[in-house]
């Protein structure tokens, strides 16, 4: 007997199902049958959506802060690379003067 392969649903599909569940026009069992997912899965998606609903309003702020922090880290790394390149050139120059390179 062949085992059924696990299905992965995209976020748009999950949102569509959850929005319909939030409207409470149909039961979870009816939604599960309509969208061919287990009613417990619909319940899980609904709970996850409700727990993370506040992110819809502060996502831009978080994203901007994260981008700013990453840009600062990138600048620090570029400065470190420049410093190391200068040190390498300094060492090469002095090693040539000493005939060690």
Q: What is the pTM of this model?
A: 0.57
Cα gap 91→56, rounded to integer Å: 53
Cα gap 101→95, rounded to integer Å: 5
Residue 60 has pLDDT above 80, yes or no: no
Rounded to 5 degrees, what are φ and ψ at 55?
-65, -20
The three-class DSSP label of residue 24 is coil
Residue 95 has pLDDT above 90, yes or no: yes
| pLDDT (0 to 100) of residue 91 | 96
Q: Where do the domains of the chain lie?
A: 11-73
Structure tokens at 79: 């400065």
Name which residue leads in pLDDT, 57 or 76. Answer: 76
Q: pLDDT (tens digit, 9 = 90+) per residue, 1-41? A: 677 778 899 999 999 999 999 999 999 999 999 999 999 99
């Amino acid at each position: 007997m062949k085992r059924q392969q696990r299905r992965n649903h995209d976020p748009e599909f999950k949102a569509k199902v959850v929005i319909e569940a939030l409207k409470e026009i149909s039961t979870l069992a009816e939604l599960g049958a309509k969208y061919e997912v287990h009613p417990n899965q619909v319940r899980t998606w609904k709970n996850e959506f409700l727990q993370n609903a506040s992110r819809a309003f502060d996502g831009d702020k978080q994203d901007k802060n994260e981008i700013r922090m990453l840009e600062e880290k990138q600048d620090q790394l570029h400065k470190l690379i420049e410093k190391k390149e200068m040190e390498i050139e300094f060492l090469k120059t002095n090693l040539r003067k000493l005939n060690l390179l």
